[in-house]
Amino acid sequence: MLARSLVVESMRLGQFLSDEVSFALHPYGLSIQQFNVLRILRGCQEKPASLQYITSRMIHKTSNTTRIVDRLLEKKLVDRKPCAENRRMIEITITKQGLSLLTTIDPVIDKKENEVASRLSEKELTALLDNYKKLFVTL
């Protein structure tokens, strides 16, 4: 019964956090998945990324990365071009407009994350993160 409570409460918390971040992103016209792709690309530090790489780094593994990138292309937040060495591969990079949007959104998301985290002490946060890591590794 304790295991079920852990799973149910974790799912409820995950949905709550997802809803909070979605609400924070709404004024910027981004979904969580689009935001995730932009952050992944920013982390590449101007190096192009493949669709496979982006998918491997996504939080929501079931996301259709191609469709998400297409939407970001329409918004001019990413660029896509064929790889010079392998024409079958596509290289994706974040645009200056995409970087600028992330710079605008970062403080909003930081504030939301800090609101949630402020409910626990630093010691409790550390313990919770350690326990999450234990659970995730075993799954």
pLDDT of res. 138: 57
* End-to-end CA separation in angstroms for the chain: 19
φ, ψ for residue 28 (rounded to 5)? Answer: -100, 0
| H or E, element range at 78 | strand 78-82
pLDDT of res. 114: 94
pLDDT of res. 119: 93
pLDDT of res. 50: 92
Classify 94 as helix, strand or coil. strand
| Contact yes or no for 40/48 (Cβ under 8 A) | no
Share of the chain above pLDDT 70, in %: 97
pLDDT of res. 137: 72
pLDDT in tens, 3-31: 999 999 999 999 999 999 999 999 999 99
Taking the CA atoms of 56, 58, 72 and 104 in sequence, report the sign of the dihedral they define: negative
pLDDT in tens, 61-115: 766 999 999 999 999 999 999 878 887 889 999 999 999 999 999 999 999 999 9
| Residues in the chain, overall count | 139
- Is the per-residue pLDDT at 55 higher than 90? yes
- Mean pLDDT across the chain: 92
| Residue of 10, 9, 11, 13 lying closest to 116 (CA atoms) | 13
| H or E, element range at 128 | helix 122-138
